[in-house]
Structure 1
Amino acid sequence: MESQNDLNETIFLTTSKIQEEFPELTKYLGEIPENSQSNTEKGVNKKALEDYLESLNYLLETYEENVKKL
């Protein structure tokens, strides 16, 4: 199980990959919905980070699959 620091690092790396390899997707990064129920008084919880990472991976994988079809 990944710690919050590990999740943050993976999110950073995934976001960097999107920005470097598929800059046309950066406009969608702000559109990934934030779950207001997953925020706590202390900040974003681990579940929110996992959900965000899953959304990033889905965006990246879906786009890569569609690009390969072209």
Structure 2
Amino acid sequence: MSWSIEVDADTCIGSALCVGIAPEHFELVEGFSCPRRSEVGPAEEVTDAAESCPVEAITVRDAGTGEVLAPER
């Protein structure tokens, strides 16, 4: 199983909470969050980062099915 990570650049405000929670998965580029890799193995810190984003700019999906895993709606 693998997960895809997407960051909506139009929504991101650059709070960097995701970088603080999961620095191995996110970085700031020109003040906005970017995933270090678009596809990763399951990792709790990735869903924690998505759930912690103040503007819900991060979406984590099951790469095989497209099911949204985080943030919970």
TM-score above 0.5: no
Larger-Rg structure: 1
| Structure with greater helix percent | 1
Higher strand proportion (structure 1 or 2): 2
- Scaled by the length of structure 1, the TM-score of the pair is 0.31
